[in-house]
């Protein structure tokens, strides 16, 4: 096999079909079940989008009422899981906590190995309802705080803020969070979704596939970029330092976090929507210095390299302004992407073929093992 025939990173390779979302490289657009993401973000709640991703259609008011009531009723987690989260080392990355919690939920679910569509839909909806509770407990315990129990009186986003901060912030903040959840929910065969599909293709269970996907999302070239963006902006500090910082980073051949994309080469269609929600929040919170740094850095880097921001560029500073600890940004991404992952897991199960590519061997030719004397 020649070098040209090997598609490093599977770049440009079409692996399977999917009806969950469509990425159009030429127009940099993204649709979920046929609807453009920016229109969904302008007109829907995350709960409606979660329903759409799983069921293929937006819910009627009755379907939405039933769906949200079920989500609200499943938010609480058992005491053993609370204790498990609180027993993890305080300096471990929160994605390890999320991965451990998902594995635990698989271990205690008597239907973990039941692979019917109904059983898997029920598992997906429980993970969607319980991941925010897990992330919130982990966030609080790192500040020496006890858990705040979920409440059925609040919507998905407001309840999450209540569980983390024991209060619900201004409307712009809740809306910005909800928009981020909608934009992060699904993205075709990205690395973590593909990981989930690979695991599913072996006929392993949904929890195992999700735990694997959490591991893939953690990396800074994928979901971990939203944390890395904030760490980078904090290191740069102020807008007047952006240019010199970029000079130095590029001279050291560093990747600039939150910029570039494997598929979108002329901009990510999710960015204008997230950026607008971030700006609305900046206005509400009066964080002009951060916005100035954000704009100056972007203008400078795009001007030099023609490499555009991806969704992680506006979402990192947005989560920072909301008050979340930087290492919790990727677990928040998990809370959203659980919808896309589980839709893909069920799609893979419905039409499975073991995913097992080939490799071109470039090690030593076959040789004999030396015979040991005596």
Nearest distance, CB of residue 314 and ligand CMC, angstroms: 12
Nearest distance, CB of residue 225 and ligand CMC, angstroms: 4
Which residues, listed in sequence order, are joined to residue 30 by a DSSP beta bridge?
23
Per DSSP, the chain holds a count of helices (H) and strands (E) of 16, 3
Contacts of range 147-156, beta carbons closer than 8 Å, 24 or more positions apart: 147/82, 149/76, 150/72, 150/75, 150/76, 152/72, 152/73, 152/75, 155/45, 155/47, 155/68, 156/45, 156/46, 156/47, 156/68, 156/71, 156/132, 156/181
262 binds ligand CMC (CB under 6 A): yes
10 binds ligand CMC (CB under 6 A): no
- Pick the closer one to ligand CMC by CB: 30 or 256: 256
Instruction: Return the residues of window 155-194 that contact ligand CMC according to CB under 6 A.
Output: 190
- Pick the closer one to ligand CMC by CB: 9 or 89: 9
261 binds ligand CMC (CB under 6 A): yes
- Pick the closer one to ligand CMC by CB: 161 or 259: 259
Instruction: Return the residues of window 225-244 that contact ligand CMC according to CB under 6 A.
Output: 225
Candidate segments 123-131, 250-258, 288-296, 349-357, binder of ligand CMC by CB under 6 A: 250-258
Nearest distance, CB of residue 356 and ligand CMC, angstroms: 23
Cα angle for residues 219, 222, 223 (degrees, 5° grid): 80
Give the interface size with ligand CMC as a residue count (CB under 6 A).
Answer: 18
The DSSP bridge pattern shows strands 29-32 and 21-24 to be antiparallel
Cβ(281)–Cβ(176) below 8 Å: yes
Between CA 205 and CA 199 the distance in angstroms is 8
Which residue among 178, 222, 312, 344 is the active-site one?
312
Nearest distance, CB of residue 302 and ligand CMC, angstroms: 11
Matching residue, tokens 């072996």: 202
261 part of the active site: yes
> First vs last Cα of the chain: how many Å apart?
42
Binding site for ligand CMC (CB under 6 A): 9, 190, 221-223, 225, 255-262, 307, 310-312
Q: Looking at the annotation, which residues are catalytic?
A: 261, 312
């Amino acid at each position: 096999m020649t070098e040209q025939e090997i598609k490093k990173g599977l770049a440009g390779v079409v692996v399977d079909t999917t009806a969950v979302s469509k990425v159009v490289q030429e127009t940099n657009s993204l649709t979920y079940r046929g609807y453009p993401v920016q229109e969904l973000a302008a007109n829907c709640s995350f709960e409606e989008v979660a329903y759409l991703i799983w069921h293929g259609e937006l819910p009627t008011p009755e379907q939405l009422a039933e769906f949200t009531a079920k989500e609200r009723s499943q938010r609480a987690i058992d005491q053993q899981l609370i204790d498990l989260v609180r027993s993890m080392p305080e300096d471990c990355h929160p994605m390890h906590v999320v991965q451990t919690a998902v594995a635990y939920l698989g271990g205690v679910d008597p239907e973990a190995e039941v692979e019917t569509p109904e059983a898997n839909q029920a598992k997906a909806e429980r993970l969607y309802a319980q991941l925010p509770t897990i992330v919130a407990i982990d966030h609080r315990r790192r500040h020496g705080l006890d858990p705040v129990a979920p409440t059925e009186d609040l919507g998905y986003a407001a309840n999450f803020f209540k569980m983390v901060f024991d209060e619900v912030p201004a409307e712009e903040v809740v809306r910005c969070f909800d928009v981020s959840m909608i934009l992060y929910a699904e993205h075709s065969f990205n690395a973590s979704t593909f990981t989930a599909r690979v695991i599913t293709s072996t006929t392993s269970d949904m929890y195992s596939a999700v735990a694997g996907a959490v591991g893939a999302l953690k990396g800074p070239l994928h979901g971990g970029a939203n944390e890395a963006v904030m760490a980078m902006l904090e290191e740069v500090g102020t807008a007047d330092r952006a240019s010199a910082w970029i000079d130095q980073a590029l001279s050291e051949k560093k990747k600039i976090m939150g910029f570039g994309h494997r598929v979108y080469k002329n901009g990510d269609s999710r960015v204008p929507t997230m950026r607008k929600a971030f700006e609305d929040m900046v206005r509400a919170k009066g964080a002009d210095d951060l916005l100035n740094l954000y704009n100056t850095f972007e203008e400078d880097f795009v001007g030099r390299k023609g490499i555009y921001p991806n969704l992680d560029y506006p979402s990192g500073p947005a989560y920072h302004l909301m008050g979340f600890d930087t290492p919790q940004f990727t677990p928040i991404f998990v809370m959203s992407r659980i919808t896309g992952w589980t839709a893909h897991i069920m799609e893979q199960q419905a039409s499975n073929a073991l995913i097992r590519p080939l490799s071109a061997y470039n090690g030593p030719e076959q040789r004999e093992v030396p015979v040991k004397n005596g």
